[in-house]
């Protein structure tokens, strides 16, 4: 049985359990039980956006096999704002690559936006990724020779010319991240925080359901980090997107709606750690 809120596998007798519509649910913690009680339909009746069950990822280095994910079970629900935390090497980026369809599990089940990734071709995975997922990385990953506007448009131009509507959308996104006056600047003419804003605008260009950010503030000073997190938080609140941030920063994690902690390639129960942030009402 899986915790319907965080997705952790529950073995044996559950300390936390509830009934809803005649079915019994078990939870890893009081926190997940309370979340469920506050909105049972969200968790019991809607498919989560992400559902990982017993995901194993092993890197095969010839002589040695490196087990990285060792039965990772996790759920992320539509519209949630999640921090994934855990020690270096605990498998956070590996998990994000699977959630983002950049990689597939060695074993186990991964259902992303209703699609079982183990049954999909490379092309189908790429379509899912391009259409539904926006990425933000620690190193911004902007193209140095392109302007801010062209970088935001890149996911469009890679698949053919950007039309007027796309350009308009890119301009609006740059305005919404506070860079309306920096559209023609190249990355080298922008500060680190500004570059990350461009990357965030780019992540939104295809109107994805899911934004995945791996250490988005890892290269920024603490004041700039705070602004980037405020921005992501505002974008989460005003869009209907699901936002997942991998971070080492407890301050950042505390500003999300729910913290998932990884250890040795699994999720560990995180009772009571969900933050005060509430679901947007829009």
Ligand X SMILES: Nc1ncnc2c1ncn2[C@@H]1O[C@H](COP(=O)(O)OP(=O)(O)OP(=O)(O)O)[C@@H](O)[C@H]1O
Positions in the binding site for Mg ion (CB under 5 A): 92-93
Among residues 29, 31, 94, 225, the one that binds ligand X under rule CB under 6 A: 94
Identify residues 23-52 at the interface with Zn ion (CB under 5 A): 28, 32
CA–CA gap between residue 129 and residue 111 (Å, rounded) = 13
Q: Which letter does DSSP use for residue 48 in this model?
A: P
Q: Which does 6 bind (CB under 5 to 8 A by kind): Mg ion, Zn ion, ligand X, none?
A: Zn ion
Minimum CB separation of residue 273 from ligand X in Å reads 18
Other Cβ atoms within 10 Å of 233 Cβ, number = 18
What string marks each residue from 45 to 74 as x (binds ligand X by CB under 6 A) or -? Answer: --------------x-x----x-x------
- Shortest reach from residue 248's CB to ligand X, in Å: 6
Residue 114, contacted partner among Zn ion, ligand X, Mg ion, none, CB below 5-8 A by kind: none
Q: Does 91 interact with ligand X (rule: CB under 6 A)?
A: yes
Task: Compute the distance between CA of residue 93 and CA of residue 73 in angstroms, rounded to an integer.
Answer: 15
Query: Which segments of 214-254 does DSSP mark as H helices, in order?
Result: 222-238, 250-253
Q: Does 92 bind ligand X (CB under 6 A)?
A: yes
Contact call for residue 172 and ligand X (CB under 6 A): no
How far is Cα 206 from Cα 133, in angstroms, rounded to an integer?
A: 8
Subset of 5-24 contacting Zn ion (CB under 5 A): 6, 8
Specify the 3-state DSSP secondary structure of 148.
helix
**Is the CB of residue 82 less than 8 Å from the CB of residue 76?**
yes
- Structure tokens that stand for 154 in this block: 């890149």
């Amino acid at each position: 049985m899986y915790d319907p809120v965080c997705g952790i596998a529950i073995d044996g007798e559950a300390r936390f359990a509830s009934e809803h519509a005649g079915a019994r649910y078990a939870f890893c913690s009081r926190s997940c039980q309370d979340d469920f009680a506050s909105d049972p339909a969200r968790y019991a009746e809607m498919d989560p956006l992400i559902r990982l069950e017993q995901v194993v990822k092993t890197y095969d280095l010839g002589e040695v096999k490196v087990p990285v994910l060792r039965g990772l079970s996790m759920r992320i629900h539509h519209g949630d704002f999640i921090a994934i935390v855990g020690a270096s090497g605990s498998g956070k980026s590996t998990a994000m690559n699977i959630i983002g369809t950049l990689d597939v599990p060695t074993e186990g089940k991964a259902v992303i936006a209703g699609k079982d990734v183990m049954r999909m071709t490379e092309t189908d995975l790429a379509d899912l990724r391009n259409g539904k997922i926006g990425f933000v990385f620690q190193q911004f990953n902007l193209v140095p020779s392109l302007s801010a506007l062209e970088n935001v448009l890149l996911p469009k131009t890679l698949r053919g010319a950007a039309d007027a509507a796309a350009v308009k959308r890119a301009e609006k996104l740059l305005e919404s991240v506070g860079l309306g006056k920096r559209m023609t600047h190249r990355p080298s003419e922008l500060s680190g925080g500004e570059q990350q804003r461009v990357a965030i605008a780019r992540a939104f260009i295809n109107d994805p359901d899911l934004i995945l950010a791996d250490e988005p503030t890892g290269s920024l000073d603490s004041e700039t980090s705070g602004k980037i997190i405020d921005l992501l938080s505002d974008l989460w609140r005003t869009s209907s997107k699901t936002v997942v941030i991998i971070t080492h920063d407890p301050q950042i994690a505390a500003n999300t709606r729910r913290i998932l902690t990884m250890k040795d390639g699994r999720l560990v129960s995180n009772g009571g750690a969900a933050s005060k942030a509430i679901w947007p009402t829009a």
